[in-house]
Structure 1
Amino acid sequence: MGCDGGTIPKRHELVKGPKKVEKVDKNAELAAKWKYCALSQEKLKRPIVSCDLGRLYNKDAVIEYLLDKSAERPNAETVVHIRGIRDIKELNLTDNPEWEGERRNAKGDRYEDINCGMFICPVVGLEMNGKHRFCYLQTCGCVFSDRAMKEVKTEICHKCGDPFKIEDVIVLNGTKEEVEKLREKMEERRTKAKIKKSKKSKAAEAAVSTPSESKADDTQVDVAGRSSQQNGDESSQSAVAGPSGSSASSRSSKGSTSSTTSATKRSVQSMEEKSEVFKSLFTSHSSAKRTKDQTSNWVTHTPYHF
């Protein structure tokens, strides 16, 4: 049973048993959620956004997904609920002064602390590394730890001072139960928005229909009023034209002809009430017409013409 070198193999080297299931380090898994984008699996870098379910993304990755949803991506199921840019919120994060990032020297052996987070809570100072619960406000996007929200109870943001409600608080990278609750809230919010939108559209249609009817009534009233006014003017003109003789009668006839011909188009030369000086301003006047002998041909000469 010996080999060339006199070695004796053991049983586990000859007989292959079942493979051991590799266990995932929970601390490393939690740290990855807070340091890498949930869609592209790249390192998080500003601007960082979050959805209604509390997942962290790079804004560039989400925009690329919205522009081309047909492209194949490994983690596309995590952003199915994102329909547009309104479904995400840019986060207002506080940098961790102890986070070195790319500034640290990578040469040589060095211990890398996975528990050191890139961001911290601006109130308590806890690091955002997965060990502590964090949440953000949908109104302003500021991020705080759950401990800060419980210890300092207020309805005003601790960082920017904007007012908020309890419904606006969303947990970041929560458990499965918390994600399901957030999903239910998201669906309720969207149904309410649809109902409001439908009500606004119906109100707008009603507002558009009522002014059109009122305008039609106004036009009818205006037409009736104008006709009555014209009749009154004609009667007054006829009353005044009695003692004036032939000149008044000619004026009334001219007024009647102008009112009748105003509806139809006619040339300026056929207008009797216009003077000859006014008619001569137009090309249709007899003075503007020329014979063939009076017209001239334009000839241009180039510098090469001799």
Structure 2
Amino acid sequence: MGNDGGSIPDRRDLVKSKKKAEQADKNNQTRARWFYCALSKAPLVEPIVSDALGQLYNKDAILEFLLDRGAYGDGEEICGHIKSLKDVKTLKLTPVTSVREGASEEDVPKFQCPLSQKAMTGHVPFVYLVPCGCVMSQAGFRALSTTPPASPSGGPQLDVCPQCATKFDREKDVRQINPPEEESTRLRLALAAAKAQKKSKKRKSEAVSDDPPSKVAKKGTDKESGHLVASRAVQSSLAMEEAKRKASMSDAVKSLYGDPTKKRKETFTTMGTFTRYA
């Protein structure tokens, strides 16, 4: 090649390297999780609810999904574990008091922490309490919440919400909003395990009768005695019908059946064989 007026190819033209996989923009993913409904993909508007996985939804979208589970194409994949409004909690959010000048409308946060005044943008972890639904930043919650004293009865140690003074269990009632992927996977597995355990308990309760064993045994003996009495009544009625039938027979017909009390003498034609007269 060359000297013909053409171009000389180099290594970039002859060797095709593998293209790098396209990576999603993390900022866009964070904005989608914190500014938009996880189900309808519409901007979050109060009332806002959250499930056991910490995902955010518009309440009207959840109501529409519960009325028609096929209203959204990927609804079962996103929130198939939500069977009723008992599976979600309405959040108590604090609107933002000050807006940064020059920021676009899409990037302006709508809510903030009532304790630390930090904006709810996804860059700072936020939590909510299950009993009351109060939302606050994780740092502000840890700074103001205190370790509750040990319960004398040995029950759960209840803490008090720093915003509305509602009692809650620190181990069970604190849920992180939009947790990391590892934590979200763990929560999904725990939710599936709890669902399977609930189904197994329901099957066992259906298999075991509600009546005590003594009543079950008594019912069984009553049924057996009832069957025995019925069979005896049938036998007695059949015997009475047979006696009436024989009483109405003529002597000629009776001679065909013979008298079982009299022993009939065998002849050479019936000797050694079974007949009705034997």
Contact 2:40 2:72 in 1 (8 A): no
Contact 2:36 2:43 in 1 (8 A): yes
Residue in structure 2 matched with residue 122 of structure 1 by the alignment:
114
Counting matched residue pairs gives 188
Contact 1:170 1:182 in 2 (8 A): no
Which of these residues, 164, 167, 175, is aligned with residue 160 of structure 1? 164
The structure with the largest helix share of the pair is 1
Contact 1:116 1:127 in 2 (8 A): no
What SS does structure 1 have at the residue aligned with 2:83? coil
Aligned ranges 1:202-241 → 2 under 5 Å: 205=210
One-letter amino acid of the counterpart of residue 97, structure 2: P
One-letter amino acid of the counterpart of residue 172, structure 1: I
Distance 2:92 2:203 in 1: 33
Deviation for aligned residue 1:73: 1.9
Matched, 1:143 2:135: yes
Matched, 1:180 2:172: no
Cα 1:189/1:126, change in 2 over 3 Å:
farther
Deviation for aligned residue 1:125: 1.2
What SS does structure 2 have at the residue aligned with 1:167? coil
**TM-score, length-normalised on structure 2?**
0.56
Structure 2, unaligned stretches of length 5 or more? Answer: 1-8, 147-158, 219-278
Cα 1:38/1:188, change in 2 over 3 Å:
same
Contact 2:39 2:57 in 1 (8 A): yes
One-letter amino acid of the counterpart of residue 128, structure 2: Y
1:146-195: CA deviation from partner (whole Å, max 9, x where unpaired): 11222223311111111111211111111121112222443455567668
Matched, 1:97 2:97: yes
Residue in structure 1 matched with residue 60 of structure 2 by the alignment:
60
Cα 1:162/1:122, change in 2 over 3 Å:
same
1:199-218: CA deviation from partner (whole Å, max 9, x where unpaired): 999999459x99xx9xxxxx
1:251-280: CA deviation from partner (whole Å, max 9, x where unpaired): xxxxxxxxxxxxxxxxxxxxxxxxxxxxxx
1:192-244: CA deviation from partner (whole Å, max 9, x where unpaired): 7668878999999459x99xx9xxxxxxxxxxxxxxxxxxxxxxxxxxxxxxx
Q: CA RMSD in A?
A: 3.7
Contact 2:141 2:162 in 1 (8 A): no
Contact 1:39 1:76 in 2 (8 A): no
One-letter amino acid of the counterpart of residue 127, structure 2: C
Residue in structure 1 matched with residue 78 of structure 2 by the alignment:
78
Structure 1, unaligned stretches of length 5 or more? Answer: 1-10, 105-109, 214-306
Distance 2:192 2:19 in 1: 43
Distance 1:75 1:51 in 2: 14
Matched, 1:171 2:176: yes
Distance 2:86 2:109 in 1: 28
